Structure 1
Amino acid sequence: MTRSPIAFGVFLFGLVSTIVFASDPEPTTDFVLPRGVDSAILDGNYFTSTILRNDTMGSGPYSTTTQVSVENFPALQGLGISMSLARYSPGAVVRPQIHPRATELLYVLEGTLDVGFIDSTNKLFRQTLQTGDLWLVPQGMVHFLSNLNDTSEARAVAAFTRSNPGYIDVAASIFGSNERISKQVLSKSFKVYESVIQTLFEAQEQEPISSSVRASP
Protein backbone atom coordinates (compact mmCIF):
# COMPACT_ATOMS: atom_id res chain seq x y z
CA MET A 1 0.00 0.00 0.00
CA THR A 2 1.43 3.41 -1.01
CA ARG A 3 1.50 6.19 1.54
CA SER A 4 0.14 9.61 0.59
CA PRO A 5 2.81 12.36 0.71
CA ILE A 6 0.27 14.63 2.39
CA ALA A 7 -0.53 12.05 5.06
CA PHE A 8 3.16 11.44 5.67
CA GLY A 9 3.75 15.19 5.91
CA VAL A 10 0.98 15.53 8.50
CA PHE A 11 2.51 12.64 10.49
CA LEU A 12 5.99 14.19 10.37
CA PHE A 13 4.67 17.60 11.41
CA GLY A 14 2.84 16.03 14.34
CA LEU A 15 5.96 14.17 15.43
CA VAL A 16 8.16 17.27 15.29
CA SER A 17 5.52 19.35 17.08
CA THR A 18 5.38 16.80 19.91
CA ILE A 19 9.15 16.98 20.34
CA VAL A 20 9.19 20.78 20.29
CA PHE A 21 6.34 21.21 22.75
CA ALA A 22 7.95 18.72 25.14
CA SER A 23 11.09 20.86 25.39
CA ASP A 24 11.72 24.31 26.81
CA PRO A 25 10.08 27.26 25.06
CA GLU A 26 12.10 28.57 22.13
CA PRO A 27 14.29 31.54 23.17
CA THR A 28 13.34 34.79 21.50
CA THR A 29 16.36 36.79 22.74
CA ASP A 30 20.07 36.09 23.15
CA PHE A 31 19.71 36.16 26.94
CA VAL A 32 17.37 37.44 29.63
CA LEU A 33 18.05 40.96 30.88
CA PRO A 34 17.59 41.93 34.52
CA ARG A 35 14.44 43.99 34.92
CA GLY A 36 15.01 47.66 34.18
CA VAL A 37 18.57 47.13 32.89
CA ASP A 38 19.70 48.33 29.47
CA SER A 39 21.77 45.74 27.58
CA ALA A 40 24.10 48.53 26.47
CA ILE A 41 25.53 48.87 29.97
CA LEU A 42 26.14 45.14 30.49
CA ASP A 43 29.66 43.76 30.20
CA GLY A 44 31.43 40.45 30.80
CA ASN A 45 30.85 40.70 34.55
CA TYR A 46 27.17 39.84 34.07
CA PHE A 47 28.12 36.51 32.49
CA THR A 48 30.82 35.69 35.05
CA SER A 49 30.44 34.05 38.46
CA THR A 50 33.20 33.66 41.05
CA ILE A 51 31.12 31.48 43.38
CA LEU A 52 33.40 28.46 42.93
CA ARG A 53 36.71 30.35 42.97
CA ASN A 54 37.54 29.71 46.63
CA ASP A 55 35.38 26.66 47.19
CA THR A 56 36.71 24.47 50.00
CA MET A 57 35.87 21.00 51.26
CA GLY A 58 33.58 20.67 54.23
CA SER A 59 33.71 17.95 56.86
CA GLY A 60 31.28 15.48 58.35
CA PRO A 61 29.39 12.44 57.09
CA TYR A 62 27.70 14.18 54.15
CA SER A 63 28.82 15.94 51.00
CA THR A 64 29.43 19.68 50.71
CA THR A 65 27.74 21.09 47.62
CA THR A 66 27.93 24.54 46.10
CA GLN A 67 25.09 25.03 43.63
CA VAL A 68 25.33 27.54 40.80
CA SER A 69 21.79 28.26 39.62
CA VAL A 70 19.67 31.20 38.56
CA GLU A 71 19.25 32.05 42.25
CA ASN A 72 22.88 33.09 42.63
CA PHE A 73 23.89 33.58 38.97
CA PRO A 74 21.06 35.59 37.31
CA ALA A 75 22.61 35.33 33.82
CA LEU A 76 21.38 31.70 33.71
CA GLN A 77 17.77 32.85 33.59
CA GLY A 78 15.93 31.29 30.64
CA LEU A 79 18.96 29.40 29.34
CA GLY A 80 18.06 25.98 30.77
CA ILE A 81 21.37 25.14 32.41
CA SER A 82 23.03 25.16 35.83
CA MET A 83 25.73 23.26 37.69
CA SER A 84 27.15 22.35 41.07
CA LEU A 85 30.51 21.45 42.57
CA ALA A 86 30.51 18.75 45.25
CA ARG A 87 33.28 17.67 47.60
CA TYR A 88 33.01 14.44 49.54
CA SER A 89 35.10 13.97 52.65
CA PRO A 90 36.33 10.39 53.28
CA GLY A 91 33.33 8.08 53.65
CA ALA A 92 30.82 10.90 53.02
CA VAL A 93 27.38 10.21 51.58
CA VAL A 94 24.70 12.08 49.65
CA ARG A 95 21.38 11.12 51.14
CA PRO A 96 18.62 9.95 48.74
CA GLN A 97 17.42 13.03 46.88
CA ILE A 98 15.44 14.22 43.87
CA HIS A 99 15.88 17.03 41.36
CA PRO A 100 12.24 17.50 40.30
CA ARG A 101 12.90 19.85 37.39
CA ALA A 102 16.11 18.64 35.76
CA THR A 103 18.22 15.77 34.48
CA GLU A 104 21.69 15.61 36.06
CA LEU A 105 24.99 14.72 34.38
CA LEU A 106 27.76 14.08 36.92
CA TYR A 107 31.49 14.11 36.11
CA VAL A 108 33.95 12.70 38.65
CA LEU A 109 36.95 15.01 39.02
CA GLU A 110 38.73 13.00 41.68
CA GLY A 111 38.17 9.84 43.70
CA THR A 112 35.78 6.89 43.57
CA LEU A 113 32.01 7.21 44.04
CA ASP A 114 29.25 4.67 44.55
CA VAL A 115 26.16 6.03 42.82
CA GLY A 116 22.68 4.89 41.95
CA PHE A 117 19.12 5.89 41.12
CA ILE A 118 15.73 4.17 41.33
CA ASP A 119 13.30 4.41 38.42
CA SER A 120 9.48 4.48 38.50
CA THR A 121 9.35 0.66 38.51
CA ASN A 122 11.52 0.56 41.67
CA LYS A 123 14.50 -0.83 39.77
CA LEU A 124 17.88 0.21 41.17
CA PHE A 125 20.58 1.24 38.70
CA ARG A 126 23.91 1.28 40.52
CA GLN A 127 27.51 1.90 39.48
CA THR A 128 30.98 2.51 40.87
CA LEU A 129 32.54 5.57 39.23
CA GLN A 130 36.23 6.28 38.83
CA THR A 131 37.95 9.59 38.12
CA GLY A 132 36.90 10.77 34.66
CA ASP A 133 33.61 8.83 34.56
CA LEU A 134 30.20 10.33 33.77
CA TRP A 135 26.91 9.39 35.42
CA LEU A 136 23.42 10.32 34.21
CA VAL A 137 20.42 10.73 36.52
CA PRO A 138 17.09 11.21 34.68
CA GLN A 139 14.83 14.00 35.88
CA GLY A 140 12.81 13.26 39.01
CA MET A 141 14.58 10.01 39.95
CA VAL A 142 15.54 9.27 43.57
CA HIS A 143 19.34 9.00 43.62
CA PHE A 144 22.27 8.78 46.04
CA LEU A 145 26.08 8.90 46.13
CA SER A 146 28.84 7.95 48.54
CA ASN A 147 32.61 8.26 48.70
CA LEU A 148 33.93 4.70 48.93
CA ASN A 149 37.33 5.79 50.19
CA ASP A 150 37.67 6.18 53.97
CA THR A 151 40.92 8.14 53.77
CA SER A 152 40.72 10.37 50.66
CA GLU A 153 38.26 13.00 49.50
CA ALA A 154 36.39 12.86 46.19
CA ARG A 155 35.20 15.71 43.98
CA ALA A 156 32.60 15.93 41.22
CA VAL A 157 30.89 18.52 39.09
CA ALA A 158 27.29 18.16 37.94
CA ALA A 159 25.43 19.86 35.10
CA PHE A 160 21.65 20.26 35.10
CA THR A 161 19.16 20.79 32.28
CA ARG A 162 17.36 23.64 34.05
CA SER A 163 18.54 26.98 35.44
CA ASN A 164 16.93 26.00 38.75
CA PRO A 165 16.76 22.17 39.00
CA GLY A 166 15.20 22.04 42.45
CA TYR A 167 16.30 19.82 45.32
CA ILE A 168 14.34 17.46 47.54
CA ASP A 169 16.04 15.53 50.34
CA VAL A 170 13.83 12.44 50.70
CA ALA A 171 14.48 11.83 54.41
CA ALA A 172 14.17 15.51 55.31
CA SER A 173 10.94 15.85 53.33
CA ILE A 174 9.28 12.85 55.00
CA PHE A 175 10.58 13.22 58.55
CA GLY A 176 11.56 16.89 58.75
CA SER A 177 8.72 18.85 57.16
CA ASN A 178 7.52 22.00 58.94
CA GLU A 179 4.27 20.21 59.81
CA ARG A 180 4.80 16.54 60.48
CA ILE A 181 3.05 13.79 58.59
CA SER A 182 1.13 11.76 61.14
CA LYS A 183 2.97 8.86 62.73
CA GLN A 184 0.00 6.63 61.89
CA VAL A 185 0.37 7.33 58.17
CA LEU A 186 4.13 6.80 58.20
CA SER A 187 4.04 3.66 60.38
CA LYS A 188 1.55 2.03 58.02
CA SER A 189 3.49 3.20 54.95
CA PHE A 190 6.84 1.87 56.18
CA LYS A 191 5.30 -1.06 58.09
CA VAL A 192 7.06 -0.23 61.36
CA TYR A 193 5.92 0.72 64.87
CA GLU A 194 5.08 4.33 65.59
CA SER A 195 7.95 4.40 68.07
CA VAL A 196 10.35 3.87 65.15
CA ILE A 197 8.79 6.84 63.32
CA GLN A 198 9.22 8.97 66.45
CA THR A 199 12.90 8.02 66.56
CA LEU A 200 13.30 9.12 62.93
CA PHE A 201 11.52 12.42 63.68
CA GLU A 202 13.94 13.09 66.51
CA ALA A 203 16.99 12.08 64.46
CA GLN A 204 16.01 14.51 61.69
CA GLU A 205 15.66 17.34 64.21
CA GLN A 206 19.17 16.69 65.52
CA GLU A 207 20.81 16.79 62.07
CA PRO A 208 18.98 19.17 59.69
CA ILE A 209 19.60 19.13 55.95
CA SER A 210 21.40 22.51 56.06
CA SER A 211 24.44 20.79 57.59
CA SER A 212 25.29 19.09 54.32
CA VAL A 213 24.46 21.70 51.67
CA ARG A 214 26.12 25.11 51.69
CA ALA A 215 24.17 26.62 48.83
CA SER A 216 20.64 25.42 48.27
CA PRO A 217 20.34 23.54 44.94
Structure 2
Amino acid sequence: MFLPILFIFSLLSSSFASVQDFCVADLSLPDGPAGYPCKNPAKVTVDDFVYSALGVAGNTNNLFKVAVTTAFTTQFPGLNGLGLSLARADLAVGGVVPMHTHPNANEVIFMLQGTITAGFISSANTVYLKTLNKGDTMIFPQGLLHFVVNSGKTTALVLVIFSSPNPGVQFLDYALFANNLPSELVEKTTFLDDGQVKKLKASFGGTG
Protein backbone atom coordinates (compact mmCIF):
# COMPACT_ATOMS: atom_id res chain seq x y z
CA MET A 1 0.00 0.00 0.00
CA PHE A 2 2.81 2.36 0.91
CA LEU A 3 4.74 1.90 -2.37
CA PRO A 4 1.81 2.84 -4.67
CA ILE A 5 1.20 5.98 -2.61
CA LEU A 6 4.89 6.88 -2.77
CA PHE A 7 4.85 6.32 -6.55
CA ILE A 8 1.82 8.61 -7.02
CA PHE A 9 3.39 11.29 -4.81
CA SER A 10 6.58 11.07 -6.87
CA LEU A 11 4.61 11.59 -10.11
CA LEU A 12 2.76 14.57 -8.66
CA SER A 13 5.98 16.15 -7.41
CA SER A 14 7.55 15.72 -10.81
CA SER A 15 4.51 17.28 -12.46
CA PHE A 16 4.51 20.28 -10.13
CA ALA A 17 8.24 20.77 -10.62
CA SER A 18 7.78 21.01 -14.37
CA VAL A 19 5.20 23.82 -14.11
CA GLN A 20 6.63 27.08 -15.50
CA ASP A 21 6.59 29.81 -12.87
CA PHE A 22 7.06 32.68 -15.32
CA CYS A 23 7.71 33.53 -18.95
CA VAL A 24 10.28 36.31 -19.14
CA ALA A 25 10.12 37.81 -22.63
CA ASP A 26 12.79 36.87 -25.13
CA LEU A 27 12.94 40.21 -26.91
CA SER A 28 15.19 38.79 -29.62
CA LEU A 29 12.19 36.88 -30.99
CA PRO A 30 9.03 38.39 -32.57
CA ASP A 31 6.03 39.36 -30.45
CA GLY A 32 2.80 37.43 -31.02
CA PRO A 33 -0.85 37.48 -29.92
CA ALA A 34 0.07 35.61 -26.73
CA GLY A 35 3.10 37.79 -26.05
CA TYR A 36 6.78 37.15 -26.55
CA PRO A 37 8.23 33.63 -26.46
CA CYS A 38 9.79 32.68 -23.14
CA LYS A 39 13.44 33.34 -22.46
CA ASN A 40 15.51 30.27 -21.66
CA PRO A 41 15.08 29.91 -17.86
CA ALA A 42 18.81 29.30 -17.52
CA LYS A 43 19.38 32.83 -18.85
CA VAL A 44 16.81 34.54 -16.62
CA THR A 45 18.26 36.82 -13.94
CA VAL A 46 16.78 38.91 -11.15
CA ASP A 47 17.23 41.99 -13.36
CA ASP A 48 14.44 40.68 -15.61
CA PHE A 49 12.06 41.29 -12.68
CA VAL A 50 13.36 44.74 -11.70
CA TYR A 51 12.72 48.05 -13.51
CA SER A 52 13.96 51.43 -12.32
CA ALA A 53 12.76 53.91 -14.96
CA LEU A 54 9.51 54.64 -13.12
CA GLY A 55 11.62 56.26 -10.42
CA VAL A 56 12.85 58.96 -12.81
CA ALA A 57 10.83 62.10 -13.53
CA GLY A 58 9.89 62.61 -17.18
CA ASN A 59 10.33 65.73 -19.30
CA THR A 60 7.13 67.80 -19.22
CA ASN A 61 8.37 70.48 -21.62
CA ASN A 62 5.74 69.88 -24.32
CA LEU A 63 2.31 71.02 -25.49
CA PHE A 64 0.46 69.09 -22.76
CA LYS A 65 3.02 69.66 -19.96
CA VAL A 66 2.97 65.94 -19.24
CA ALA A 67 5.42 63.05 -19.45
CA VAL A 68 4.42 59.39 -19.48
CA THR A 69 7.07 56.75 -18.77
CA THR A 70 5.88 53.24 -19.62
CA ALA A 71 6.73 49.86 -18.15
CA PHE A 72 5.54 47.51 -20.87
CA THR A 73 7.01 44.13 -21.75
CA THR A 74 9.50 45.65 -24.19
CA GLN A 75 11.01 47.67 -21.32
CA PHE A 76 10.26 45.23 -18.49
CA PRO A 77 10.56 41.62 -19.80
CA GLY A 78 9.43 40.05 -16.53
CA LEU A 79 5.89 41.34 -17.15
CA ASN A 80 5.48 39.03 -20.14
CA GLY A 81 2.44 36.79 -19.78
CA LEU A 82 1.23 38.40 -16.57
CA GLY A 83 -1.60 40.39 -18.17
CA LEU A 84 -0.62 43.80 -16.85
CA SER A 85 1.59 46.81 -17.48
CA LEU A 86 2.44 50.05 -15.72
CA ALA A 87 3.30 53.68 -16.36
CA ARG A 88 4.36 56.83 -14.56
CA ALA A 89 2.72 60.16 -15.40
CA ASP A 90 4.36 63.46 -14.45
CA LEU A 91 2.15 66.53 -14.88
CA ALA A 92 3.61 70.01 -14.51
CA VAL A 93 1.36 72.76 -13.17
CA GLY A 94 -1.44 73.13 -15.71
CA GLY A 95 -0.51 69.83 -17.34
CA VAL A 96 -3.17 67.66 -18.95
CA VAL A 97 -3.59 64.15 -20.29
CA PRO A 98 -6.31 64.92 -22.85
CA MET A 99 -9.39 62.83 -23.63
CA HIS A 100 -8.34 59.35 -24.70
CA THR A 101 -9.30 55.69 -24.52
CA HIS A 102 -7.52 52.39 -23.94
CA PRO A 103 -9.37 49.81 -26.07
CA ASN A 104 -7.61 46.82 -24.50
CA ALA A 105 -7.41 47.58 -20.78
CA ASN A 106 -8.96 48.85 -17.61
CA GLU A 107 -6.81 51.49 -15.92
CA VAL A 108 -6.14 52.18 -12.25
CA ILE A 109 -4.37 55.37 -11.20
CA PHE A 110 -2.77 55.96 -7.80
CA MET A 111 -1.82 59.46 -6.68
CA LEU A 112 1.74 59.69 -5.38
CA GLN A 113 2.03 63.48 -5.28
CA GLY A 114 0.03 66.63 -5.98
CA THR A 115 -3.58 67.23 -6.92
CA ILE A 116 -5.39 66.32 -10.13
CA THR A 117 -8.90 66.46 -11.51
CA ALA A 118 -9.71 63.18 -13.25
CA GLY A 119 -12.79 61.78 -14.87
CA PHE A 120 -14.35 59.49 -17.42
CA ILE A 121 -17.53 59.47 -19.47
CA SER A 122 -19.76 56.41 -19.68
CA SER A 123 -21.46 55.18 -22.86
CA ALA A 124 -24.64 56.76 -21.42
CA ASN A 125 -22.78 60.12 -21.37
CA THR A 126 -22.69 60.21 -17.58
CA VAL A 127 -19.63 62.06 -16.28
CA TYR A 128 -17.72 60.65 -13.30
CA LEU A 129 -15.44 63.43 -12.08
CA LYS A 130 -13.27 63.74 -8.97
CA THR A 131 -10.43 65.78 -7.51
CA LEU A 132 -7.73 63.40 -6.32
CA ASN A 133 -4.95 64.00 -3.82
CA LYS A 134 -1.99 62.01 -2.57
CA GLY A 135 -3.06 58.47 -1.65
CA ASP A 136 -6.25 58.48 -3.75
CA THR A 137 -7.02 55.81 -6.34
CA MET A 138 -9.41 55.92 -9.31
CA ILE A 139 -10.49 53.41 -11.96
CA PHE A 140 -11.10 54.12 -15.65
CA PRO A 141 -13.10 51.24 -17.20
CA GLN A 142 -11.88 49.80 -20.48
CA GLY A 143 -12.69 51.69 -23.67
CA LEU A 144 -14.22 54.78 -22.04
CA LEU A 145 -13.04 58.33 -22.71
CA HIS A 146 -11.10 59.71 -19.75
CA PHE A 147 -8.69 62.51 -18.88
CA VAL A 148 -6.45 63.93 -16.17
CA VAL A 149 -5.70 67.61 -15.41
CA ASN A 150 -3.20 68.93 -12.88
CA SER A 151 -5.49 71.21 -10.90
CA GLY A 152 -3.01 71.86 -8.11
CA LYS A 153 -0.16 74.28 -7.56
CA THR A 154 2.68 71.73 -7.68
CA THR A 155 3.82 68.95 -9.99
CA ALA A 156 1.55 65.91 -9.87
CA LEU A 157 2.88 62.35 -9.95
CA VAL A 158 0.61 59.43 -10.84
CA LEU A 159 1.25 55.69 -10.92
CA VAL A 160 -0.78 53.95 -13.64
CA ILE A 161 -1.62 50.24 -13.80
CA PHE A 162 -3.23 48.60 -16.84
CA SER A 163 -5.01 45.24 -16.93
CA SER A 164 -3.25 44.35 -20.19
CA PRO A 165 0.33 44.12 -21.41
CA ASN A 166 -0.78 46.16 -24.44
CA PRO A 167 -3.49 48.64 -23.38
CA GLY A 168 -3.47 50.58 -26.64
CA VAL A 169 -4.34 54.27 -26.72
CA GLN A 170 -6.23 56.71 -28.93
CA PHE A 171 -6.25 60.44 -28.15
CA LEU A 172 -9.37 62.28 -29.27
CA ASP A 173 -7.44 65.44 -30.19
CA TYR A 174 -5.02 63.55 -32.42
CA ALA A 175 -7.80 61.50 -33.98
CA LEU A 176 -9.58 64.69 -35.04
CA PHE A 177 -6.76 67.14 -35.76
CA ALA A 178 -3.47 65.27 -36.38
CA ASN A 179 -4.30 63.66 -39.72
CA ASN A 180 -5.58 64.52 -43.20
CA LEU A 181 -9.31 64.22 -42.45
CA PRO A 182 -10.76 67.17 -44.42
CA SER A 183 -11.54 70.18 -42.24
CA GLU A 184 -15.07 70.45 -43.62
CA LEU A 185 -15.84 66.92 -42.36
CA VAL A 186 -14.36 67.69 -38.95
CA GLU A 187 -16.52 70.83 -38.82
CA LYS A 188 -19.70 68.99 -39.78
CA THR A 189 -19.12 66.14 -37.32
CA THR A 190 -18.00 68.28 -34.38
CA PHE A 191 -19.94 71.55 -35.00
CA LEU A 192 -16.69 73.51 -34.64
CA ASP A 193 -16.16 76.51 -36.91
CA ASP A 194 -13.62 76.56 -39.72
CA GLY A 195 -11.19 78.87 -37.95
CA GLN A 196 -11.09 76.74 -34.81
CA VAL A 197 -10.58 73.52 -36.75
CA LYS A 198 -7.73 74.95 -38.80
CA LYS A 199 -6.11 76.37 -35.66
CA LEU A 200 -6.26 72.94 -33.98
CA LYS A 201 -4.97 71.18 -37.09
CA ALA A 202 -2.01 73.56 -37.11
CA SER A 203 -1.34 72.82 -33.43
CA PHE A 204 -1.47 69.03 -33.86
CA GLY A 205 0.19 68.77 -37.26
CA GLY A 206 -2.88 67.85 -39.29
CA THR A 207 -3.60 68.79 -42.89
CA GLY A 208 -6.68 69.25 -45.02
- What is the TM-score when the length of structure 2 is the normalising length? 0.77
Structure 2 match to 1:164: 166
AA paired with 1:170? L
Bigger relative CO (Cα 8 Å, ≥ 6 apart): 1
Structure 2 match to 1:31: 22
AA paired with 2:56? N
Shift of the alpha carbon at 1:71?
Answer: 2.6
Structure 2 match to 1:213: none
Structure 2 match to 1:24: none
- What is the TM-score when the length of structure 1 is the normalising length? 0.74
Q: Following superposition of structure 1 onto structure 2, how do residues 1-217 of structure 1 map, counting pairs within 5 Å? A: 29-33=20-24, 34=26, 35=37, 37-56=39-58, 58-60=60-62, 61-149=64-152, 151-177=153-179, 180-205=180-205
Q: CA RMSD, aligned part only?
A: 2.0
Per the alignment, in what secondary structure is the counterpart of residue 53 of structure 2?
A: coil
Percent identity between matched residues is: 27
State the aligned residue count.
Answer: 176
Task: Flag structure 1 segments of 5+ consecutive residues without an equivalent.
Answer: 1-27, 207-217
Offset from partner CA, 1:34-61 (integer Å, 9 cap, x none):
2484212212112222222433453454
Shift of the alpha carbon at 1:105?
Answer: 0.6
Offset from partner CA, 1:175-214 (integer Å, 9 cap, x none):
103xx112232111112333432222112129xxxxxxxx
AA paired with 2:205? E
Structure 2: distance between partners of 1:76 and 1:49: 10
Structure 1 54/191 Cα, relative in aligned 2: closer, same or farther at 3 Å?
A: closer
CA radius of gyration, larger in: 2
Structure 2 match to 1:3: none
Structure 1 36/122 Cα, relative in aligned 2: closer, same or farther at 3 Å?
A: closer
Q: Answer whether contact 2:121 2:128 (CA < 8 A) is retained.
A: yes
Structure 1 106/52 Cα, relative in aligned 2: closer, same or farther at 3 Å?
A: same
Structure 1 124/49 Cα, relative in aligned 2: closer, same or farther at 3 Å?
A: same
Structure 2: distance between partners of 1:204 and 1:158: 25
Structure 2 match to 1:209: none
Shift of the alpha carbon at 1:29?
Answer: 4.1
Per the alignment, in what secondary structure is the counterpart of residue 80 of structure 1?
A: coil
Structure 2 match to 1:22: none
AA paired with 2:100? Q
Q: Answer whether contact 1:71 1:164 (CA < 8 A) is retained.
A: no
